[in-house]
Amino acid sequence: MTALERVVTFSALASGERLDKVIVTELAELSRTHIQRLIEDGFVQVDGRMMTKPAQRLEHPATISVHIPPAAPAGTQPEDIPLDIVFENDDLLVINKPAGMVVHPAAGHFGGTLVNAVLGYNLDLEGVGDEQRPGIVHRLDKDTSGLIVVAKNDLAHRELQRQFKDRQVEKVYLALLDGHPPSDTGRIEATIGRDLKDRKRMAVVSERHGRPAITEYKTVEKFHDYTLVEAHLLTGRTHQIRLHFAYLKCPLVGDTVYGRHKPTFPLHRHFLHAARLAFQLPGSGKTMTFTAPLPEELQNVLETLRR
């Protein structure tokens, strides 16, 4: 627990109610959406066991502990940070995010985020969707580069969220793996949830403790000790690609969290790039495909391996 984290512990009766509703009754100062997010992110324990499903019903008397991280300061500030804008219309922005940039403010990252940069570019986005994450429809890890879409109004935000939820968005990544997967093409199905021992990490877990996750991949290029693959996400779980390839025992190059603690290649980030994104434009229904080339530091890695 950090110095600024608050923990609320209370006893609950066997009500048969959903876990999120039980907590809302006890912590009226938090919205149900906020509580659902805390549960999904592994910040709630029932009798010492982490819960990740807001709809879980409380069938027995229990002790519930809710860890409440420090909130980001109210009113995210616009910042003058350059953006690589791939596409823009009245409804959305498609941005090529650099590695090293956090998508939205959170504990430890209250400035310098993509949201700060987007608000600096267009202050009208303030309050679209979520006041702490205005315009954000999906996320990329800090050290993942590539394409991300940002909604400019609530209607576009809801429509884009629907497409992501209904798996109508094509999300294709390029990843360099340490080693070789068991086949040149494949489909990985492994449930992902919060690591039961460390809330800051995700893990491949049992169906009881996580959510289904599916990644399809195909080999683009083989090297002696490495494989460049194209990964197609059919679901959008946190750290999904990184975990799924670590599960196959060929983790991403540079991933010191789920892969080699000592990188096998001198790269100061993991080799993962959101290279292609396709979806229907809100309002028109026209499907558009956007691409982003590999950043120079990743392209240099491949050129070195080809020598």
Helix (H) or strand (E) holding 192: strand 192-195
Q: Which two tokens stand for residue 269?
A: 């980030």
**Cα–Cα nearest to 206, from 188, 194, 191:** 191
Q: Which of 20, 47, 80, 141 is catalytic?
A: 141
From CA 96, how far away is CA 79, in angstroms rounded? 17
| Look-up of token digits 């350059």 | 82
Q: By three-state DSSP, how is residue 299 classified? A: helix
80 tagged catalytic = no
From CA 292, how far away is CA 276, in angstroms rounded? 7
**71: how many CB neighbours lie within 10 A of its CB?**
12
From CA 72, how far away is CA 105, in angstroms rounded? 6
- Identify whether the C-beta of residue 87 lies closer than 8 Å to the C-beta of residue 290: yes
What residues form DSSP beta bridges with 7?
67
In this structure, are strands 185-189 and 170-178 parallel, antiparallel, or unpaired? unpaired
| Look-up of token digits 């790039």 | 273
Name every residue whose Cβ is closer than 8 Å to that of residue 305 and which is 6 or more positions away in sequence.
Answer: 223, 226
Q: Which two tokens stand for residue 46?
A: 């029932």
| Look-up of token digits 């340490």 | 178
Q: Which two tokens stand for residue 19?
A: 């876990």
Return the active site residues: 141
